[in-house]
A and B are shown apart, each in its own frame.
Chain A
Amino acid sequence: MNAGVLKGGFANAPVDSSHAFRGAMNAMARPGTIEILSGAVPPAPLSVAAGVLLLTLCDPETPVALCGAHDCADVREWIAFHIGAPVMEPGKAMFAVGSWEALQPLEAYAIGTPEYPDRSATLIVEMEALSQEGATLRGPGIKDTASLSLPDLAPFQRNATLFPLGLDFFFCAGERLAALPRTTRVEAG
């Protein structure tokens, strides 16, 4: 274990996480909105936004799946020290982090049960860039339409048809964060 993993957490956890949560909540309540999350310096390849999100939402009660390049010693040790979340395979995870390609196949994750649709995974998708152009979004939280540079279309359309079951997504690029809940209807922009 190198000493670097001890750094990069919140300086003032109660206050930093309260701001981060408001950003995350606003993103989830208003799909297509881009929020800025900062306050932590996670090890590569975790983006700042993804690291802040993990610090804000995860703890020893939330199994996390690390996919692709994110499953490395630096990230595992950083999560073990700052968050304490158990790292598990996708089928048992409440949260999963990775690039869009590394997170596939989406069928591997829990989508909830008819009685408990909330027992579904939240996927944190690492992106090169994130902007308000591309796919057209409609649904709860959106006044008329919104736009977001999604990494794909068909998987999100399939996910929306599962409602009230399904996966919820956060997209991270650097400090930028957006979200796509299962309720959002996605079309090519």
Chain B
Amino acid sequence: MSDYNFAYLDEQTKRMIRRAILKGLAIPGYQVPFASREMPMPYGWGTGGVQVSAATLTPDDTMKVIDQGADDTTNAVSIRKFFEKTAGVATTEATAEASVIQTRHRIPEESLREDQILVYQVPIPEPLRFLEPSEVETRKMHSLEEYGLMHVKLYEDIARHGAIATSYAYPVKVEGRYVMDPSPIPKFDNPKLEMAAIQLFGAGREQRIYAVPPYTQVVSLDFEDFPFEASKADHPCDLCGAEDSYLDEVIMDDAGTRMFVCSDTDYCASRRAAGHVGAQAAAAAQEEDAA
């Protein structure tokens, strides 16, 4: 660890990021430009989230990193190891034990507390980017609060598919002012964006930081006759039996047998440890007993 400055980044870079975080918290949902640094990992692997985490961590923190809800994927493991090595912080897989949680594309199932911080990795921070490629134009649209184009996009979803087909990175309006991309979390997670913890968003390649303070109003865009719906696979978890968690669909064999499991691995594991059993876990246990 002594080979690195605490948390990898140099102090001047951290000050620059910290100033951007404070302005982001003061203007919820507004994307603050920052001078993103090259990190020892490729763009798309969470360089924005890593820089925000590095500027936020103290040596007393316990860190958790998840990728699509899982603690044990390559991305999550390598970022966790990165901070173990460069910041010397404790790490955990238990949501309740973590003080800083860096996440890619999920919000943990367990409600977060006031003493926790959630750091999102963001690929495209600009919710209007796929509708308007020019940064000059989108910046003007945000300044004029001109979000009609986004509603047209949602309307076209309804016209084509009969419902709002956007299922992840579902746009939200923060505190009645800025339309914000909540990063590609499933829209199932959108209602959780109003939480007790501080939420920070970092986009490394696009050089933007934004934030949502605790208890801030976050509304998913919708229409009166087509209200927002937080959807998930209509199935309980096959391992732990949870009916309220977001599920991954796993193809089991060439015949197309599938299995639905919690995307939040810590949530699923702690439920199983507490004795909850899902349909396929029960079947597997019976087979073992028979053998």
Contact = CB atoms under 8 A, between A and B. Distances in A.
Interface of A: 13-15, 17-19, 21-22, 24-26, 28-30, 56-59, 61-62, 94, 113-118, 120, 122, 139-143, 163-164, 168, 181-183
B58 A141 contact: no
A140 to B, nearest CB: 4
A18 B212 CA distance: 20
Contacts of A58: 15
Contacts of A183: 26-28, 175, 213
Residue among B19, B23, B26, B144 having the largest count of chain A Cβ atoms under 10 Å: B26
Given A18-B58, A18-B59, A25-B21, A142 B32 contact: no
A21 B12 CA distance: 13
B7 interface: yes
B18 A114 contact: no
B253 to A, nearest CB: 48
Contact of A181 (B15, B16, B25): B25
* Interface of B, helix, strand, loop or mixed by DSSP: mixed
Contact of B178 (A13, A15, A28, A164): A164
Nearest to A12: B6
A118 B30 contact: yes
A160 B237 CA distance: 47
B16 A61 contact: yes
Interface residues of B, number: 46
Contacts of A139: 175
B291 to A, nearest CB: 54
B112 interface: no
B178 to A, nearest CB: 7
A138 to B, nearest CB: 10
Given A25-B21, A122-B22, A183-B28, A17 B215 contact: no
A118 to B, nearest CB: 4
Contacts of B21: 25
